[in-house]
Amino acid sequence: MSGNRLEMQILHREGLARIGRFKTDHGFVDTPNIMPVINPNIRTLSMDIMKKLGTQAIITNSYIIRRNEDLKEIALSKGLHHLIGFDGTIMTDSGTFQSYVYGDVEYENRDTVEFQLKIKSDISTILDIFSTPMDSWEKANQAVDETHKRFMEIADLAGKNNISGPIQGSVYDDLRVKSAKLMSGTDSTYLPIGGVVPLLEQYRYSKLVDIIINSKLNSDFSKPIHLFGGGHPMFMGMAVLLGVDMFDSASYVKYARDDRLLYPDGTRNLKDITELPYWSPLRDRFSTQELRKAEENEKFSLLAEHNLFAIFQELSEIRERIRENTLWQYVESKSKSHPSLYSAFRRILRYSENLEPYFELYRKSPLFHFGEETNQSPYGVRLKKLQPSDTDYYTLSSGDWKPARLSKDFVKNVYEKTEGHFYINWFGLKVPLEMEEAYPVEQVIPWNEEKESGSKKPIPKDIKIRDFNLEKLRFLADFQFGENTGKKLFTDNCEIAVSRATGRIRTITREGKIIATMRAHDGFIGLTFAGGLIIHGMSEGIKNRVMVTEESATYNSQGKSVFFKFITNFDDRIIPLNDVLVVDPNDRLVAVGRSMVSGKELGMYREGTAVSINHHLE
């Protein structure tokens, strides 16, 4: 029996990509990560080497163990970890793939799961039905239903153990959605995406994008998503970008057996290589000539070591990119290394509207603009929502416009003396002038030469009829907190303090109280508690409310963070890293803070910080 039902704790994120951690009876596993496939009959690399390379978890096959009497006896008497010689997390597969390759296996679903529990597997797997890309919709649908039925057969075992519920559905998007929802609704704690190995082998990455996105967006985010067989470094970054947390693969062994070496962007044959890459663990020990002449078993082990290192190196790079908030750029630039990857990246852009709610209000990194594809990204989609809906606007060319702090004449003599809507050209997108300093508009170099467009250029009046800084604040408030909040929060009698050095807005005061600041790093509004009270008092348009238990509210009012397990209600339109209002069960405001995840995720996680408090009641 397993004592720890694993749950994901999120440490860093970028959109759907996340650095997380979960715990089993044999320690923590940091994600994204890979479980190298271990054949209990054959040891290609020693466990010492595998641990040194970074292995925290492995996957092995319970079917192979059960069929071998010697292995079975050791596993039952001394446990799976003793048999394998590994003290970390071990996941067991059920024999589903063997059933697909060789025909029906001789064991039933329930006794397959019971055997895995008896040998003390950390994560067990039901005997699901493997669907191939060639299966008809009807056959794949039957497999989805039967897989769910088989999980329900062992539901009594799942309540106290970590049992994975594979998401099937072949190449059919609607079936992947159905399967993801069905398996998320069970007591499974782990969700592998199955039936994708043939697609990976055929470089059908575009179809994999469909499968991963439809599976991820319809799954319970508190459960790790595992891509069965997805162990090539070439595709791992893209998979993580779409929400995959864990991989498993025997690729490090399979490629080594054929004298092939894994690289971050592809595969190379030993006979075609003159020099080993500088990062290879073999570089200082062997030349390529020596490797080619090595005894076969030794060469096999050495190439497997190189390949596993390449996988872990790529995972390390991916995790660092998530910390930097540059994974999207990394995947976008890397997609140009292979036509199949580029086609897959173009497929991702079709889902940008689906992905946009999960992307943060701002990022640590500036947005790197690579062309029209960047405008189709989730951040481009977010800006497109602000495009003019009629002809009553004027688009400024670079000759007309510079940032407001550098173009005081335009602000004073044109903007503040007209009522027209002004837009700036941002790489072909029309972006409201008031967004000039907000992420990602200012975090790139956006000023292009562009012909004037929209209605006739407005004619300024003789008197000032509006204030640019006030209009900017109102626009951003509507964008962040809901339509029509800007005028109610920032009234005409607000006092706006700006930096003498830069001209940027710093603080906004109303009736003697600071109600908001403008953050320099992202150009958005940060609420104070006084500002939160004003927004909280509005009757409509508020989209950033998080309700917590009475117990939690007491701590949150003192400045302590909100944890997921204490949230009772929330607005699912919340954008990650935007300011939210934290209220008690009676809807009394107790704190203002930043949501760490999107509103769509707030009700899924149970571990970790949901809202980081900035200002509080006490």
- The domain that holds 587 is classified in CATH as 2.30.130.10
Answer yes or no: is pLDDT of 429 > 60: yes
User: At which of 235, 250, 265 does a domain end?
Assistant: 250
Span 94-109, mean pLDDT? 69
pLDDT of the residue at 97: 66
Answer yes or no: is pLDDT of 73 > 70: yes
Contacts of 145 (CB under 8 A, 6+ apart): none
Query: Does residue 275 form part of some domain?
Result: no
User: At which of 466, 486, 519 does a domain end?
Assistant: 466
- The reply to whether 230 and 196 lie within a common domain is yes
Kindly state the tokens that stand for 345.
């990246």
Answer yes or no: is pLDDT of 394 > 90: no
Say which CATH number the domain at 134 has: 3.20.20.105
| Percent of the chain residues past pLDDT 90, beyond the cut | 79
- The reply to whether 544 and 417 lie within a common domain is no
- The reply to whether 135 and 208 lie within a common domain is yes
- Give the closest residue to 253 by CA, choosing from 516, 553, 38, 436: 38
CA 96 to each of CA 100, 127, 130, 187: distance values in angstroms, whole numbers, following the listed order:
6, 6, 6, 20
- The reply to whether 236 and 136 lie within a common domain is yes
The answer to whether 209 touches 355, Cβ cutoff 8 Å, is no
The answer to whether 583 touches 589, Cβ cutoff 8 Å, is yes
pLDDT of the residue at 428: 85
pLDDT digits (tens, 9 = 90+) for 231-268: 899 999 999 999 999 999 899 999 999 999 999 999 99
pLDDT of the residue at 540: 66
C-alpha dihedral, 104 to 110 to 113 to 114, nearest 10°: -130
CA 5 to each of CA 24, 150, 164, 189, 587: distance values in angstroms, whole numbers, following the listed order:
7, 20, 11, 7, 33
| Residue 395, amino acid | T
Asked if omega into 440 is within 30° of 0 (cis), the reply is yes
- The reply to whether 594 and 580 lie within a common domain is yes
pLDDT of the residue at 400: 59
CA 503 to each of CA 201, 404, 437, 518: distance values in angstroms, whole numbers, following the listed order:
56, 8, 12, 12
- The reply to whether 444 and 493 lie within a common domain is no
pLDDT of the residue at 48: 94
Span 166-172, mean pLDDT? 97
Q: Point out the catalytic residue in the list 25, 70, 93, 187.
A: 93
Kindly state the tokens that stand for 442.
């200012």
Span 186-213, mean pLDDT? 96
Query: Does residue 2 form part of some domain?
Result: no
* Of 460 and 77, the one with more pLDDT: 77
Query: Which residues span the domain enclosing 555?
Result: 469-616
pLDDT of the residue at 447: 44
First vs last Cα of the chain: how many Å apart?
46
Answer yes or no: is pLDDT of 101 > 70: no
Answer yes or no: is pLDDT of 115 > 60: yes
User: At which of 466, 485, 513 does a domain end?
Assistant: 466
pLDDT digits (tens, 9 = 90+) for 32-68: 999 999 998 888 899 999 999 999 999 999 999 998 9
pLDDT of the residue at 455: 64
Query: Does residue 564 form part of some domain?
Result: yes
- Give the closest residue to 210 by CA, choosing from 180, 190, 232: 180
Query: Does residue 351 form part of some domain?
Result: no
Enumerate the β-bridge partners of residue 90.
Answer: 58
The band of 96, judged by pLDDT with boundaries at 50, 70 and 90, is confident
CA 147 to each of CA 109, 128, 182: distance values in angstroms, whole numbers, following the listed order:
10, 5, 10
pLDDT digits (tens, 9 = 90+) for 441-478: 988 754 444 455 666 677 788 899 999 999 999 999 99
- The reply to whether 420 and 442 lie within a common domain is yes
Query: Does residue 433 form part of some domain?
Result: yes
Q: What is the pTM of this model?
A: 0.94
CA 581 to each of CA 533, 543, 594, 611: distance values in angstroms, whole numbers, following the listed order:
9, 9, 9, 10
Total domains present in the chain: 3
The answer to whether 359 touches 381, Cβ cutoff 8 Å, is no
Span 509-520, mean pLDDT? 96
Average pLDDT taken over every residue of the chain: 92
pLDDT of the residue at 448: 47
Backbone angles phi, psi at 76, to 5 degrees: -75, -35
pLDDT of the residue at 411: 85
pLDDT of the residue at 446: 44
Enumerate the β-bridge partners of residue 509.
Answer: 495, 514
pLDDT of the residue at 395: 84
- The reply to whether 148 and 173 lie within a common domain is yes
Kindly state the tokens that stand for 363.
């990022």
* Of 458 and 588, the one with more pLDDT: 588
Query: Does residue 246 form part of some domain?
Result: yes
Answer yes or no: is pLDDT of 185 > 50: yes
- The reply to whether 506 and 448 lie within a common domain is no
Span 316-325, mean pLDDT? 97
* Of 447 and 334, the one with more pLDDT: 334
CA 320 to each of CA 262, 378, 494: distance values in angstroms, whole numbers, following the listed order:
20, 21, 42
pLDDT of the residue at 398: 56
Catalytic site includes residue 245: no
Query: Does residue 299 form part of some domain?
Result: no
- The reply to whether 110 and 236 lie within a common domain is yes
- Give the closest residue to 531 by CA, choosing from 549, 520, 518, 540: 518
- What is d(CA 612, CA 618) in angstroms, rounded to the nearest whole number? 16
The band of 202, judged by pLDDT with boundaries at 50, 70 and 90, is very high
Contacts of 572 (CB under 8 A, 6+ apart): 598, 599, 600, 602, 603
Contacts of 201 (CB under 8 A, 6+ apart): none
Residue with tokens 């003159």: 274
Contacts of 319 (CB under 8 A, 6+ apart): 19, 30, 32
CB atoms within 10 A of CB 97: 17
The band of 406, judged by pLDDT with boundaries at 50, 70 and 90, is low
pLDDT of the residue at 396: 79
Query: Does residue 15 form part of some domain?
Result: yes
- The reply to whether 76 and 213 lie within a common domain is yes
Span 170-182, mean pLDDT? 98
- The reply to whether 409 and 514 lie within a common domain is no
pLDDT of the residue at 1: 46
The band of 104, judged by pLDDT with boundaries at 50, 70 and 90, is low
- CA atoms within 13 A of residue 564's CA, in its CB half-sphere: 20
